[in-house]
């Protein structure tokens, strides 16, 4: 990890910090001035850190410093408009449209089980959205990286959409699932090659391909992406190329900051993982908001700690949720680094299983045996640390406050977080768990009585907090992992619930699309046909992972000719 090792003056926050580029510091000054000048309405801080320079940084800073400013730091709208127009290229211009070469309007063998003509026509429209979301890094980024926060990438990517103008790590898994249903194998492989290039350069796959995301990763699903592509294409070369970087990624997630040892009286020590960003300042893409929240805190030390929690929550992909808050009504009590999350540990378990499989494919038998053993050990840890037999769910585990300083912590039942989140059911996604029929039946009953199953899909949590990873929002990745897990089991009941959830999700996506002309980032699971809201930015459309999950569900479950589509 290339981090700044200067000791922090704050004893509560001694973790590493990855230094950032000078351009970002300057863009945050422009962002702050823009907020003061234009006001809050329709202000998105990310727009300013996504600008590219037309001239070198010092020329631009000099011109900015000369703008006449009022005492509170604002400038006139006319001056700021003129400055931005003269010195910057617009946000998004650094990633240019790229025609996906393997796109055809109706691929051969596309969604064979979708017979209903209305659903088929819509599925073809969703399939065509890959063209809208396909991009490549502009030549200027390759030739003058110092003028951009966009990071150079070797090949084309698929972006989520709207304000998310760059490739994202965990989003890409569901984008790839959709691309595979769309038979766009080359586009899917190119995404993986790009993520591997980030891993080669930074030692981890970044949250997204921007300079302000270098201090953290996102839910690690690279091995799952490679597995799904190999499963469809049999591309051994891809597996051979991916294996060494995956071993490097495994090291990253098992480095000192992400690893915690939990000891229990019966089975000894369990090595498990948490999110932990290498950053203790405001997130540049949301800097004005982060500072406002931090202003409630007493001193710099508390602020640093809070900023690390904010960035670590962004690493979790669940930014933001009461799941990570000690007090659900107080945002500054975020404590993501003090939690062992069920889903992160499932993703790492999947990484171990996948690496063992890939190593076997390329004849690295010792590696295969080592990772098989690691996966068996982690499965045992799941049963001891996360499983709650009374609830029939796997629960996040709260670490004691001084976790970072302790060698190991002793497991205590009271540290399991008994609040219900969709992530409590994510272990079903993994064959090691969904192949156990009595277990699946118990967890299915628990899901049915959890309160999470709603008219239009699975809710993220039971708490309506106004955060986007909470009730009543439903997110495509969560629907997909739980549905896929249930549908892989041999339990008839679980499979029928999987189909029911998938149908509800398809209906709500369809009706919202017909009403708004767009696919959405998240949906309101209480109301069929409504998109979701809340959180720190306005609802986004596009949308990579929602498109991917709809196509994957339609491929798996189909839609009979005589079954009506629409809200029931
Ligand atoms: O700009 C605020 C935050 O936005 C991202 O998070 C959300 O969008 C991502 C892209 O679809 C998604 O991967 C994530 O789960 C969402 O919560 C970004 O990843 C954050 O780092 C960023 O601070």
| Residue 314 CA, ligand 1 centroid: distance in Å | 6
- Give mean pLDDT, residues 304-331: 97
Token match 């055809």: residue?
104
pLDDT per residue as tens digits for the range 541-551: 999 999 999 99
Say if residue 39's pLDDT is above 90: yes
| C-beta 170 within 6 A of ligand 1 | yes
| C-beta 168 within 6 A of ligand 1 | yes
Query: Is 521 considered catalytic here?
Result: yes
CA–CA gap between residue 26 and residue 538 (Å, rounded): 25
| Residue 549 CA, ligand 1 centroid: distance in Å | 18
Other residues' Cβ atoms within 10 Å of the Cβ of residue 170: 23
- Give mean pLDDT, residues 411-434: 98
CA–CA gap between residue 468 and residue 517 (Å, rounded): 22
Say if residue 3's pLDDT is above 90: no
| C-beta 164 within 6 A of ligand 1 | yes
- pLDDT for 402: 66
| C-beta 207 within 6 A of ligand 1 | yes
Tokens of 464: 């309506």
| Residue 562 CA, ligand 1 centroid: distance in Å | 39
| C-beta 319 within 6 A of ligand 1 | yes
Pairing between β-strand 409-410 and β-strand 259-264 as defined by DSSP bridges? parallel
CA–CA gap between residue 27 and residue 44 (Å, rounded): 13
Say if residue 324's pLDDT is above 90: yes
Angle between helices 492-516 and 437-448 (to 10 degrees): 50
| Residue 423 CA, ligand 1 centroid: distance in Å | 17
Helices then strands (H, E): number in the chain?
19, 16
Helix, strand, coil fractions of the chain, as percent rounded to 5: 50, 10, 40
Pairing between β-strand 473-474 and β-strand 523-524 as defined by DSSP bridges? antiparallel
Q: Which atom of ligand 1 is nearest to the CA of 315?
A: 21
Residue whose CB lies within 8 A of the most ligand 1 atoms, among 317, 469, 477, 548, for a mutation test: 317
| C-beta 171 within 6 A of ligand 1 | yes
DSSP 3-state assignment of 409?
strand
% of residues, the chain, pLDDT over 70: 97
Please tell me the residue having the least CA distance from ligand 1 atom 5. Answer: 314
% of residues, the chain, pLDDT over 90: 94
Q: What's the pTM?
A: 0.97
Residue whose CB lies within 8 A of the most ligand 1 atoms, among 314, 344, 476, for a mutation test: 314
pLDDT per residue as tens digits for the range 118-132: 999 999 999 999 999
Q: Of the residues 309, 319, 364, 503, which is catalytic?
A: 319
Q: Which of 48-52, 111-115, 139-143, 399-403 has the lowest mean pLDDT?
A: 399-403
| C-beta 347 within 6 A of ligand 1 | no
Residue whose CB lies within 8 A of the most ligand 1 atoms, among 44, 164, 347, for a mutation test: 164
DSSP letter at 399 equals P
Q: Which of 11-25, 76-90, 199-213, 269-283 has the lowest mean pLDDT?
A: 11-25
CA–CA gap between residue 487 and residue 431 (Å, rounded): 11
User: Which band of pLDDT confidence, cut at 50, 70 and 90, is reported for residue 404?
Assistant: low
| Residue 296 CA, ligand 1 centroid: distance in Å | 24
Candidates 548, 479, 482; CA nearest to 519 is 548
| C-beta 158 within 6 A of ligand 1 | no
Please tell me the residue having the least CA distance from ligand 1 atom 18. Answer: 314
Say if residue 13's pLDDT is above 90: no
| Residue 565 CA, ligand 1 centroid: distance in Å | 31
Q: Of the residues 94, 396, 521, 555, which is catalytic?
A: 521
pLDDT per residue as tens digits for the range 347-367: 999 999 999 999 999 999 999
Q: Which of 6-10, 134-138, 294-298, 466-470 has the lowest mean pLDDT?
A: 6-10
- pLDDT for 493: 98
| C-beta 285 within 6 A of ligand 1 | yes
CA–CA gap between residue 526 and residue 517 (Å, rounded): 21
Token match 């499932």: residue?
346
Please tell me the residue having the least CA distance from ligand 1 atom 16. Answer: 317
Could you tell me if the ipTM is greater than 0.95?
Answer: yes
- pLDDT for 4: 46
Candidates 450, 433, 447; CA nearest to 489 is 433
- Burial (CB count <10 Å: 0-12, 13-18, 19+), residue 143: exposed
Token match 């992406």: residue?
225
pLDDT per residue as tens digits for the range 479-532: 999 999 999 999 999 999 999 999 999 999 999 999 999 999 999 999 999 999
- Give mean pLDDT, residues 133-158: 97
Q: Which atom of ligand 1 is nearest to the CA of 164?
A: 10
Task: Give the gyration radius of the chain's Cα atoms.
Answer: 23
Residue ranges with strand state E in 143-278:
157-158, 259-264, 268-273
- Burial (CB count <10 Å: 0-12, 13-18, 19+), residue 116: middle
| C-beta 178 within 6 A of ligand 1 | no
DSSP 3-state assignment of 262?
strand
CA–CA distance from 474 to each of 190, 526, 534, 541, 555 (Å)? 29, 9, 12, 15, 21
Tokens of 549: 């999950």
Q: Which atom of ligand 1 is nearest to the CA of 171?
A: 13
């Amino acid at each position: 990890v290339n981090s700044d090792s200067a000791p922090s003056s704050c004893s509560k926050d001694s973790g590493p910090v990855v230094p950032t580029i000078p351009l970002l510091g300057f863009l945050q000054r422009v962002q702050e001035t823009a907020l003061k000048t234009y006001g809050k309405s329709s202000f998105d801080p990310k727009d300013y850190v996504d600008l590219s320079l037309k001239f070198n940084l010092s020329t631009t800073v000099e011109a900015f410093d000369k703008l006449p400013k009022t005492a509170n730091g604002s400038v006139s709208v006319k001056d700021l408009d003129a400055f931005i127009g003269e010195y910057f290229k617009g946000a998004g211009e650094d990633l240019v449209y790229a025609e996906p070469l393997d796109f055809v309007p109706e691929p051969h063998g596309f969604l064979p089980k979708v017979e209903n003509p209305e659903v088929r026509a819509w599925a073809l429209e969703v399939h065509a959205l890959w063209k809208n979301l396909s991009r490549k890094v502009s030549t200027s980024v390759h030739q003058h990286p110092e003028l951009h926060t966009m990071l150079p990438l070797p090949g084309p990517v698929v972006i989520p959409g709207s304000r998310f103008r760059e490739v994202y790590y965990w989003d890409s898994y569901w984008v790839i699932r959709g691309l595979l249903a769309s038979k766009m194998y080359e586009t899917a492989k190119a995404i993986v090659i790009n993520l591997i290039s980030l891993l080669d350069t930074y030692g981890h796959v970044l949250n997204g391909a921007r300079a302000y995301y270098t201090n953290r990763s996102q839910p690690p699903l690279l091995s799952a992406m490679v597995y799904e592509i190999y499963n469809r294409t049999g591309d051994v070369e891809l597996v051979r190329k991916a294996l060494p970087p995956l071993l490097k990624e495994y090291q990253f997630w098992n480095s000192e900051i992400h690893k915690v040892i939990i000891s229990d009286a019966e089975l000894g020590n369990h090595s498990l993982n948490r999110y932990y960003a290498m950053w203790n300042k405001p997130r540049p893409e949301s800097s004005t908001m982060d500072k406002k929240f931090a202003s409630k805190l007493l001193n710099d030390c508390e602020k640093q700690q809070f900023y690390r929690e904010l960035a670590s929550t962004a690493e979790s992909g669940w930014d933001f949720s009461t799941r990570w808050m000690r007090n659900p009504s107080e945002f500054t009590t975020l404590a993501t680094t003090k939690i062992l999350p069920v889903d992160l540990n499932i993703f790492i378990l999947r990484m171990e299983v996948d690496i063992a499989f890939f190593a076997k494919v390329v004849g690295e038998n010792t590696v295969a045996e080592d990772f098989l053993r690691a996966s068996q050990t982690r499965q045992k840890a799941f049963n001891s640390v996360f499983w709650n037999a009374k609830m029939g769910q796997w629960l996040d585990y709260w670490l004691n406050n001084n976790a970072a300083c302790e060698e190991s912590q002793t497991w205590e039942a009271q540290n399991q977080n008994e609040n219900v989140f969709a992530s409590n059911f994510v272990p079903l996604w993994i064959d090691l768990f969904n192949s156990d029929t009595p277990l699946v039946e118990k967890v299915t009953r628990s899901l049915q009585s959890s309160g999470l199953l709603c008219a239009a899909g699975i809710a993220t949590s039971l708490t309506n907090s106004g955060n986007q990873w909470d009730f009543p929002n439903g997110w495509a990745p969560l629907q997909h992992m739980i549905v896929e897990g249930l549908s892989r089991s041999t339990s008839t009941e679980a499979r029928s619930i999987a189909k029911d959830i998938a149908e509800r999700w398809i209906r709500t996506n369809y009706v919202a699309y017909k009403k708004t002309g767009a696919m959405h980032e998240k949906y309101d699971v209480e109301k069929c046909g409504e998109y979701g809201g809340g959180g720190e930015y306005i609802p986004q459309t596009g949308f990579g992972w929602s498109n991917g999950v709809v196509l994957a569900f339609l491929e798996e479950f189909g839609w009979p000719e005589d079954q009506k589509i629409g809200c029931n």
